[in-house]
Structure 1
Amino acid sequence: MFADDQHTASGPFEGPEKLLEIWFASSPADIPDAHSSTDGKYGLRKVPRAVWEEMLDIVKCKILSVVEGMEMDAYLLSESSFFVSPHRLILKTCGTTLNLLGVPRILEIARDAGFPTVHRLFYSRKAFMFPERQQGPHREWKAEIEFLDNLFPNGSAYTVGKVNGDHWLLYLTAPGELSSGSGDTAPSSPQSVLHNVDGVDPEASDVSPPDTPAEEREDETDDAIASDYTIEILMTHLSPEGRAPFFSNSSPEDGDATAGADALALSSDIGITNIFPSHITTLDAYSFTPCGYSCNALLKWRPDAGQDPARSGEGYYTIHVTPEEGWSYASFECNVPLATKPTNKPTSVPDLKTLIRRVVNIFHPGKLTLTLFISSKDNDAAEEDEGETTVEAAQRAFKAALTLPAHARRKSEGEPQCNGTEAGAAGLYKRTDKINYEFGGYDLAFASFELRT
């Protein structure tokens, strides 16, 4: 997932992305012209593409293509992705892009669009493979914190996971740009437990309900739980079988002309188009020359998507792949709320465990980190049976998806088949880290896994 002018044979490419998410209102319904719009083009979605391109020039990346959805616009970039909703934007960039340097210009653009203040800001990333290659404030976490602290008086920064191993970095602000950060974003003591991962969860099941048309589907997720939900699967040490499809045989000239069509064909061949059902998915993909892959997908997970600003019905997933041996990396990110276990209700959306297996069976990583970041303002309603919170249930789903031995797995009828060897398939991993955090208004489930030896 890189532009040709950034990649050279003499140096590695930094796959792990910098993820910036800025909210300018708590929901689209809070924007004055939300209910008068007939096409969803209000708030930040009214900003012309040329204005976003000028901001992205500061970040050092380009727009390759765009898909306009019912509730958001998905821009595929030369270095990852950019999503624009009426009330928020998500900028995800890899390599040596200068993600944070775009923030001052983003704030100017938002003010011109009628947003004088920031509601909340989130910035996160996995530990870099090659930090010495970064530029500007991205050279070290301390510098990134200082950069954001100079813009936001109420920010808090955290390191989640092993400082000398796989870890995840997070910066977030409390609601309201001028908030003093008087403890609202301070986490409780992290619940860090390393469990025996050799046991099999007796409730684990690979059986997912059969797909039904979206218009016949019942909502299985409570609106309060669904207010904000992001799952990330960050994978390294991809197997040869997982890396091979992402190398191109085309010349740079031919590759540019067919990059979109080649990527869509590849997406179908390796099972990316089967992660979510095709009837709710609009996929935009790009195959880079000589190697690399990116895609954005808009997911109409509710049939009434775009009809009510207070009720989200459209989400996204995005995938980015750097396949080169020595620094191979693939990421999957999705904001569609997922059940933590199979349900008897008809649904087109896979449960969390099934989704994890579908993704991991495509890339066969040697190591992976999972994060689930979910709003918890109504956490009492989010609790599962027997008092289990959403993040605790998610941790069980992580473990069930990745540690259940292959011979014990039961494939559902619609489960996509992985190509090649099962050496890196879901079910052959051991958990190496498990941490739950409670922030003001948000909960986090973090876990790391690696292949059994």
Structure 2
Amino acid sequence: MVSVEYVDHELSTNLDSTNAFEGPEKLLEIWFWKSEFDLPSGAAIDGMRSVPMSTWVDILDLVSCKILSMKSCKFMDAYLLSESSLFVFPHKIILKTCGTTTTLACLDKLFQATKMLLGISSKQIYRVFYSRRSFMFPEKQVHVHRDWKSEVALLNEHFVSGKSYVVGDFASDDHWYLYVGGNANPSGCQTSGLHPNGSHPNGSHPNGSLSDQTFEILMTELDPKCASTFIYLRQPGGEKDLGHELGFETMVETELDTIFQSPTVNTHLPSPSISEDEHESVVPKRSHVYEFIHDSFAFTPCGFSSNSICTNIGGGYYYTLHITPESGWSYASFETNYPFNETVDVITVLTKVLKTFHPKKFSMTLISEVGDDERQSTSQALLHCDLSELNYKRAEKAIYDLNEYSLLYMNFNTEK
């Protein structure tokens, strides 16, 4: 069943983003267990999805952001925030926040909750990723986020085996930071922890699990005409909650709702229901169409955020977009874990996104598990992509071996 679990209409009506300027996000991804099939037998049946919304509200208060709305499907929960997004899966969470949010300030509260509810501490988690682009206004940041070394020091207090990287030209204003930590064989992870029928609570079987990858496009200096699409006339508090309606209209107008060639369906709030007996598959086949529902919001006076989650194929696939259109510090980001294939390849998606925003500069990152042929083909496609028709020239390329993962980072500028 797909449903809208929550919408804060009062916040959505009165939220004012006039002073929101720092587009680049802080991205925290914590894998408590290796997969949704590895939850220990003593854990709640839905793992991290069993954490109550009231607890997420308390955790996000420490980050300085609020929940605007939430959409759920059989595989995951997606929270649209006043500053970006939170995705919750049975075995992991992804927290992405922009502005002057204090993402790492929530770690103590988060692990108090997971220890009490699920019996797992920060030292036991399977893996953690924390990353961000260089800030446009670093002096405006608070807590440990003023300095990368301070962020790493705090992360090392919580997680084991941490390693940090600075990727790209450090002397420029466009480089990227990454922290990776966690246990290869955490004590909290038990592969025998499947439920009695040998399957995951949603009915899928572990033989269908897929390897992991995350693809990001981080864009700056957006084309003014493209950016103007995300500037709105509505005043905060002046009308009913139109933020979600305008957000969805913007998504359709820019065709951001069809990045992965989903069927055209009315996915605006409230969500259409999908019956429990409707066919769902864990292992994607080339003939399958990935059907996404969307939760999008148009901020006042400008800005846009959206979460899109796949409802018909298991694996917890999503994509998320966040746009800060103000001239002088315009920024847009796109992130997905979609399993690119011959039907929808990574270059097609990259090209669609770039044509929507026409940034003067952009970076892209691909973090993927090693040893998977399809993931390697995605990496190779990016390595050899020619974007000259869009007037882009590659300025930097870096490849890192992260043990079980590989990182590809590339930076592009418009040709003069």
The TM-score range, normalised by the shorter chain, is: 0.7 to 0.9
Q: Secondary structure at the match of 1:283?
A: strand
The answer as to whether partners of 2:102 and 2:145 remain within 8 angstroms in 1 is yes
Q: What amino acid is the match of 2:25?
A: E
The answer as to whether partners of 2:16 and 2:236 remain within 8 angstroms in 1 is no
Deviation digits for residues 259-281 of structure 1 (CA, Å, limit 9, x no counterpart):
00111011101111121233401
Partner of 1:447: 410
The answer as to whether partners of 2:347 and 2:381 remain within 8 angstroms in 1 is no
Counting only pairs closer than 5 Å after superposition, residues 355-434 of structure 1 correspond to structure 2 as: 355-376=349-370, 379=371, 381-382=372-373, 391-396=379-384, 399-400=385-386, 402-403=387-388, 405=389, 427-434=390-397
Deviation digits for residues 108-134 of structure 1 (CA, Å, limit 9, x no counterpart):
111122142211111000010110000
CA distance in 2, matches of 1:137, 1:36: 33
Taking structure 1 as reference, are residues 277 and 167 closer, same or farther at Cα in structure 2, changes over 3 Å only? same
Partner of 1:157: 164
Taking structure 1 as reference, are residues 176 and 105 closer, same or farther at Cα in structure 2, changes over 3 Å only? farther
Q: Secondary structure at the match of 2:118?
A: coil
1:294 counterpart = 2:305: yes
Counting only pairs closer than 5 Å after superposition, residues 339-350 of structure 1 correspond to structure 2 as: 339=341, 343=342, 347=343, 350=344
How far does residue 142 in structure 1 lie from its aligned partner after superposition? 1.0
How far does residue 382 in structure 1 lie from its aligned partner after superposition? 2.1
Partner of 2:262: 278
The percent identity for this pair of structures is 40
Partner of 1:422: none
Q: Secondary structure at the match of 1:89?
A: strand
How far does residue 104 in structure 1 lie from its aligned partner after superposition? 1.4
How far does residue 389 in structure 1 lie from its aligned partner after superposition? 6.2
Q: What amino acid is the match of 1:15?
A: G
Taking structure 1 as reference, are residues 354 and 35 closer, same or farther at Cα in structure 2, changes over 3 Å only? farther
Q: What amino acid is the match of 2:33?
A: A
1:319 counterpart = 2:321: yes
CA distance in 1, matches of 2:131, 2:357: 23
How far does residue 61 in structure 1 lie from its aligned partner after superposition? 0.2
Partner of 2:233: 249
Q: Secondary structure at the match of 1:102?
A: helix
Q: Which residue, 330, 333, 343 being the options, matches 1:331?
A: 333
Deviation digits for residues 404-424 of structure 1 (CA, Å, limit 9, x no counterpart):
x2xxxxxxxxxxxxxxxxxxx
How far does residue 238 in structure 1 lie from its aligned partner after superposition? 0.3
How far does residue 240 in structure 1 lie from its aligned partner after superposition? 1.0
| Alignment RMSD (CA, Å) | 2.4
Q: What amino acid is the match of 1:429?
A: Y
How far does residue 233 in structure 1 lie from its aligned partner after superposition? 0.4
Q: What amino acid is the match of 2:414?
A: L
Q: What amino acid is the match of 1:333?
A: E
Partner of 2:127: 120
Partner of 2:274: none
The answer as to whether partners of 2:125 and 2:182 remain within 8 angstroms in 1 is no
How far does residue 390 in structure 1 lie from its aligned partner after superposition? 5.1
Counting only pairs closer than 5 Å after superposition, residues 27-106 of structure 1 correspond to structure 2 as: 27-32=35-40, 42-106=46-110
The answer as to whether partners of 1:25 and 1:31 remain within 8 angstroms in 2 is yes
How far does residue 394 in structure 1 lie from its aligned partner after superposition? 2.9
CA distance in 2, matches of 1:255, 1:324: 23
Q: Secondary structure at the match of 1:81?
A: strand
Q: What amino acid is the match of 1:353?
A: I
CA distance in 1, matches of 2:246, 2:238: 11
The answer as to whether partners of 2:80 and 2:307 remain within 8 angstroms in 1 is yes
Deviation digits for residues 24-53 of structure 1 (CA, Å, limit 9, x no counterpart):
10001011469996xxxx111111111100
Taking structure 1 as reference, are residues 438 and 256 closer, same or farther at Cα in structure 2, changes over 3 Å only? farther
Give ranges in structure 2 of 5+ residues lacking alignment. Answer: 1-11, 188-206, 264-290
The answer as to whether partners of 1:28 and 1:87 remain within 8 angstroms in 2 is yes
The answer as to whether partners of 1:239 and 1:365 remain within 8 angstroms in 2 is yes
Q: Secondary structure at the match of 2:21?
A: coil
The answer as to whether partners of 1:120 and 1:177 remain within 8 angstroms in 2 is no
CA distance in 2, matches of 1:373, 1:62: 28
Taking structure 1 as reference, are residues 434 and 5 closer, same or farther at Cα in structure 2, changes over 3 Å only? same
Q: Which residue, 367, 387, 401 being the options, matches 1:438?
A: 401
Give ranges in structure 1 of 5+ residues lacking alignment. Answer: 180-221, 306-311, 406-426
Partner of 1:141: 148
Of 235-244 and 167-176, deviating more is 167-176
Deviation digits for residues 47-103 of structure 1 (CA, Å, limit 9, x no counterpart):
111110000001100000000111110000000000000010010000000000111
How far does residue 5 in structure 1 lie from its aligned partner after superposition? 5.7
Deviation digits for residues 326-366 of structure 1 (CA, Å, limit 9, x no counterpart):
00000000011113xxx3xxx4xx21000001111111111
Q: What amino acid is the match of 1:169?
A: Y
The answer as to whether partners of 2:18 and 2:300 remain within 8 angstroms in 1 is no
Q: What amino acid is the match of 1:382?
A: D
